[in-house]
Amino acid sequence: MTGERPVWEEERELKVRAAVDTDPRFGMRPEDRPLQEHLRLGVVNLDKPPNPSSHQVAAWVKRILGASHVGHGGTLEAAEPGRPDGHRGAACSA
Amino acid sequence: MVTGVLPVALEDATKAVQVFLYSGKEYVCLMQLHGDVDDLDVKSILEEFTGEILQRPPLRASVRRDLRKRTIYRISLLEKDGRRVLFRVACQAGTYIRKLCSDVGEALGCGAHMRELRRTRAGPFTEDEHIFTLQQLQEARRLHVEEGCEGPLREAVRPVEEIFKHIPKIYIRDSAVDAVCHGARLAVPGVVKVETGISRLGPAAIFTLKGEVVALARSELSTQEIMEAEKGIAARPVRVIMRPGTYPRRWGGVQEQI
């Protein structure tokens, strides 16, 4: 019943090669970023609404947050944008 | 009607979205059967689709329509009401669920199509407390702009590092960071810690010791080999996310004194 395991169920171990520390003067832990930096290096886990395309939804996120550019991870519904609304046959009735 | 998890990366984080091309997905799908079929038959036929399947991408696809192999990690019937079937599926990236429905329909002998689809996972992103609707996002932004309250906005946006949750990581010395930011290959002596699960030519994420992502990389060695090697190249960056200059330059000609 169960095939190959998905990657999110894999467990990883951390192996240490050298004992060295990091200089607190450079960079910072992701959770310590000031808001501006946090947004520049941020990702929104968006709950996509039914009608607009993934692309349109990403454009709205861009406008809401005033981001200079955005990119979305994995188009939800690759087949839909190509179908003009007037041509929805039985096969895509919802 | 397609809804659910859609990670949207902002600005510099957009460089990381290619990770989603390879990350598995989970869906809940409502399928419409074109004939009457016994509940148990639906259940067993669905389960037969577990494991490796062959799919030809649909006519309107953004990829070549060659037959390709995809893995269905798990598929299970949730509910059946007459000719409507609700099922859950966990699958490899690039699996077409609309196609899966018509193939299941064919296997059942009656035909079927996808009616509604909800994505419940894209890689590490799931329908958890961090999923936001456009309206919630708008409200978080308004609270920040109008009331100077940054908490909700900060919470609606996750650090780019979360995209790399399932990619095995290589943690490097501060002194190696800037070179990688400039696209240089990572040498073994620059590696401090390494996660298990790295294979030769497989993906790896290069991180700082503070837990910041530097680059998405292709590993030249396995975890074991990185642990055992004295020198040589451990990984080459394929996409740099961190801006150069974040860490001091400590490579090439003269070394800066810091």
Give the rounded distance of the alpha carbon of A85 from its chain centre. 27
Residues 6+ apart with CB under 8 A from A47: B3, B4, B5, B6, B127, B131, B132, B133
Beta strands in B154-201 (DSSP E): 157-159, 169-172, 186-187, 191-195
Domain at B24-122: CATH code? 3.30.70.3190
Q: Does pLDDT of A64 surpass 70?
A: yes
The number of residues in chain A equals: 94
Better-scored residue on pLDDT, B20 or A78: B20
Q: What is the pLDDT of residue B64?
A: 81
Print pLDDT tens along chain B (258 aa): 899 999 999 999 999 999 998 899 999 999 999 999 999 999 999 999 999 999 988 777 777 888 999 999 999 999 999 999 999 999 999 999 999 999 999 999 999 999 999 999 999 999 987 899 999 999 999 999 999 999 999 999 999 999 999 999 999 999 999 999 999 999 999 999 999 999 999 999 999 999 999 999 999 999 999 999 999 999 999 999 999 999 999 765 544 444
Picking from B193, B173, B178, the residue whose alpha carbon sits closest to that of residue B252 is: B178
pLDDT tens figures, A11-20: 999 999 999 9
Please provide the DSSP assignment of B28-45 as one string.
EEEEEESS---HHHHHHH
For residue A57, the surrounding DSSP H or E stretch is helix A54-65
Complex ipTM tops 0.85: yes
Q: Residue B157: which of A2, A44, A83 has the nearest Cβ?
A: A44
Q: What is the pLDDT of residue A87?
A: 35
Q: What is the pLDDT of residue B215?
A: 98
Backbone angles phi, psi at B126, to 5 degrees: -130, 180
Q: How far is B51 from chain A (nearest CA, A)?
A: 5
**Residue B205 exposure: Cα atoms within 13 Å on the Cβ side:** 23
Which residue in this structure is represented by tokens 């062959």? B54
Domain with CATH 2.30.130.10 in chain B: 162-240
SS3 assignment for B96-119: CHHHHHHHHHHHHCCCEEEEEEEE
**Do B130 and A45 make contact, defined as CB atoms within 8 angstroms?**
yes
Domain with CATH 3.30.70.3190 in chain B: 24-122
Q: What is the pLDDT of residue A4?
A: 77
Domain at B162-240: CATH code? 2.30.130.10
Which tokens is B112 given?
Answer: 């079927």
The bridge status of strand A42-48 relative to strand B169-172 is unpaired
Which tokens is A62 given?
Answer: 């861009």
Residue B13 CA: distances (Å) to CA of A63, A65, A94, B44, B238: 16, 14, 34, 42, 15
Size of interface A-B (CB pairs under 8 A): 273
Least trusted range by pLDDT, from A39-43, A56-60, A81-85:
A81-85
Cα(B190)–Cα(A7) distance, integer angstroms = 27
Q: Where are the alpha helices (DSSP H) in chain B?
A: 39-48, 97-108, 134-147, 151-156, 174-181, 223-228
Cβ contacts of A87 on chain B, cutoff 8 Å: none
Q: What is the pLDDT of residue B258?
A: 42
Q: What is the pLDDT of residue A3?
A: 53
Q: What is the pLDDT of residue A42?
A: 98
Cβ contacts of B165 on chain A, cutoff 8 Å: 8
**Do A70 and B10 make contact, defined as CB atoms within 8 angstroms?**
yes
**Do A45 and B12 make contact, defined as CB atoms within 8 angstroms?**
no
**Do A27 and B246 make contact, defined as CB atoms within 8 angstroms?**
yes
Please answer whether residues B96 and A77 qualify as being in contact, where contact means their C-beta atoms are separated by less than 8 angstroms.
Answer: no
Q: What is the pLDDT of residue B129?
A: 79
Q: Residue B247: which of A26, A31, A93 has the nearest Cβ?
A: A26
Q: What is the radius of gyration, based on Cα positions, of chain B? A: 23
pTM of the model: 0.89
Better-scored residue on pLDDT, A4 or B46: B46
Q: What is the pLDDT of residue B31?
A: 98
DSSP B132: B
Which tokens is B176 given?
Answer: 């190696």
Which tokens is B106 given?
Answer: 């064919």
